[in-house]
Amino acid sequence: MAAKRRSKIWDVDRNEATPESIYLNRRRFLKSVGAIGGAVAINGLGCKPAEEAKEDPTESPAPTNEIPPKQPKEIDLPKTPTSDLYPAKRTEAFSLDRPLTDEVVAATHNNFYEFTTAKDRVWELVSSLKIRPWTVDVAGLVNKPQRFDVDDLIRKMPLEERLYRFRCVETWAMAVPWTGFPLRELIKLVDPKSNAKYIRFTSFNRPDEVTTQRFGSFRWPYYEGLSMKEANNDLAMLVTGIYGHELPTQHGAPIRLIVPWKYGFKSIKSIERIEFVENQPGTFWNDLQPLEYSFHANVEPTVPHPRWSQADEWLIPDRSDSRPTQLYNGYEKQVAKLYG
Ligand code: MTE
Catalogue all structural domains in the chain, each as residue range(s) with its CATH number: 16-339 (3.90.420.10)
Average pLDDT value for residue range 144-153: 98
pLDDT of 215: 82
pLDDT in tens, 181-227: 999 999 999 999 999 999 999 999 999 999 999 986 899 999 999 99
CA distance 146 to 288: 31
CB-ligand 1 contact for 131 (6 Å cutoff): no
**HSE value, Cβ hemisphere, 13 Å, CA-based, for 332:** 6
pLDDT of 61: 36
Task: Tell me, in angstroms, the distance from the centre of ligand 1 to residue 301's CA.
Answer: 21
Task: Tell me, in angstroms, the distance from the centre of ligand 1 to residue 18's CA.
Answer: 30
CA distance 302 to 89: 36
In this prediction, residue 249 has a pLDDT band, given cuts at 50, 70 and 90, of: very high
Nearest of 176, 156, 158 to residue 167 by alpha carbon: 176
CB-ligand 1 contact for 111 (6 Å cutoff): yes
pLDDT in tens, 228-241: 999 999 999 999 99
CB-ligand 1 contact for 204 (6 Å cutoff): no
Closest atom of ligand 1 to 47 CA is 14
Counting every residue written for the chain, the total comes to: 340
Task: Tell me, in angstroms, the distance from the centre of ligand 1 to residue 302's CA.
Answer: 23
CB-ligand 1 contact for 212 (6 Å cutoff): no
